[in-house]
Amino acid sequence: MSEEKPKTFVVIGLGVFGNQIVRNLSKYNVDIIGIDKDEKKVEEVKDHLKIAIVGDATDTSQLEQAGVNAQDVDVAIVAIGENVEVNVYVSLLLKELGIKKVFSRAVNDQHANILAKIGVDKVVFPEGYVAKHLVSSLLSPKVLDMFSFSDEYSVIEVSSPKMFVNKMLQELGVRTKYNVTVIGIKRKIPIIDEAGETDTKEEIIFVPSPDEEILEGDVLIVVGKNQDIEKFKKVIG
């Protein structure tokens, strides 16, 4: 049986990271409880929150008042970054309250180890993630995005190189030559919008057929083993 989709989230710490978590979550028709000591930070995202609390998340009674309990909250995200002790304490408190899933932000490896030991369900390391992506995009300008979905495999988004343009996928033989697979193509389609203005819209072709032709400006979504992805990145420049 598949796991039920989480519906209620609590985000503790509404700084830059917590703010972005709330904004992104709010696109998915879920209920969000937001808590921060700083009124201004709460104010910035209050339109996206079902319950907005200016308060101290280390105080169990304030958490309970906000409706943070095992029955009503599916996922808690501890986004506090500036104070490691508070982050660990709140993560522990949420585990003790029996929240089904607790995701906590770590600021360094030591912090991540502590969070793992107290039993949080997932440790997120945004700075490390961003640094990895930034370095990758600086060293390989054609790589627009990448993520690893295991120690062995990664997905990258690459701007199609000139040598691929106006050629069909089967003609390029990406899989046989480089041992990686194009699983999607992002294509910008020029349009005239409802207001009569020139614009573009993005279309994604999932699992393109072998006779799909690569056009100028296409972004290829490529999956493969890490070592093959690295070789492919070198080929495309």
Binding site for other proteins (CB under 8 A): 20, 23-24, 159-160, 188, 190-193, 197-200, 215-217, 219
Q: Measured in whole angstroms, how far is the alpha carbon of residue 59 from the centre of its chain?
A: 30
Nearer to other proteins among residue 122 and residue 201 (C-beta): 201
Chain CA centroid to CA 38, Å: 25
Q: Estimate the crossing angle of helix 84-96 against helix 109-117, to 10 degrees.
A: 20
Q: How far is the CB of 188 from other proteins (least distance, A)?
A: 5
Distance CA 55, CA 66 (A): 10
Residue 133 Cβ, how far from other proteins at the closest point, in Å? 10
Q: Which is nearer to other proteins, 189 or 235 (CB)?
A: 189
The Cβ of residue 121 has, within 10 Å, a number of other Cβ atoms equal to: 15
Please report how close the Cβ of residue 68 comes to other proteins at its closest, in angstroms: 26
- Residue 7: half-sphere exposure toward Cβ, Cα within 13 Å: 4
Specify the residue, 132 or 225, whose C-beta has the smaller distance to other proteins: 132
Q: Which is nearer to other proteins, 88 or 185 (CB)?
A: 185
116: left (phi over 0), alpha (psi -120 to 50) or beta: alpha
Closest to other proteins by CB, 119 vs 237, is 237
Q: How far is the CB of 227 from other proteins (least distance, A)?
A: 26
Radius of gyration of the chain (CA): 22
Structure tokens at 23: 């904004």
Q: In the bound complex, what is the minimum distance in angstroms from residue 116's beta carbon to other proteins? A: 29
